[in-house]
Homo-oligomer: A and B are copies of this chain.
Amino acid sequence: MALQPRNPDYRAAVERYVGAQEYLTLIGVALVRIEPGLAEYRVPYQPAIGQQDGFFHGGVIGGVAEGVMGAAAATLVEAGANVVGAEYKVNFLAPGRGTLLARGIVLKPGRLIVCRADVLAVADDGSETLCAIAQGTMAAVKPSRG
């Protein structure tokens, strides 16, 4: 499945989309990869985004999964369109430690964009553990004609 971006400047558009979400700055998300139908976020651990045992909070992990699916979806929408989350589902597989590496991919483009995400926890020694998996729907909202 070769997904084709509809916006030739999709990279810049996704960077703006991610940069405009202050919450992603708050939790320390870095956008580290953009391809048509794919995006990756990196999030180093800090206590402020932890839960009671010193791991990433489930709400952070789920939100990162949702966010990276949104970024993956944003690679495929037309210029000026917005992407908003409609629904998502997360399963937690292992406690989140170290650095999160979240990858979102688009499985069905269109007005409703169906995505999956894998969230890996990367330890200091580079070993990776699958920490969470997600799937969800993003909605492309057309630019208003103003």
Interface residues of A (CB under 8 A from B): 17, 20-27, 47-53, 57-60, 62-64, 66-67, 70, 82, 84-94, 107-108, 112, 114, 116, 130, 133-137, 139
Contacts and interface: CB of A to CB of B under 8 A. Distances in A.
A52 to B, nearest CB: 4
Nearest to A65: B59
B85 A92 contact: yes
B137 A86 contact: yes
B53 A64 contact: no
A29 to B, nearest CB: 9
A52 B67 CA distance: 12
A64 to B, nearest CB: 7
Given A57-B63, A59-B64, A93-B114, A21 B51 contact: yes
Nearest to A139: B112
A62 to B, nearest CB: 5
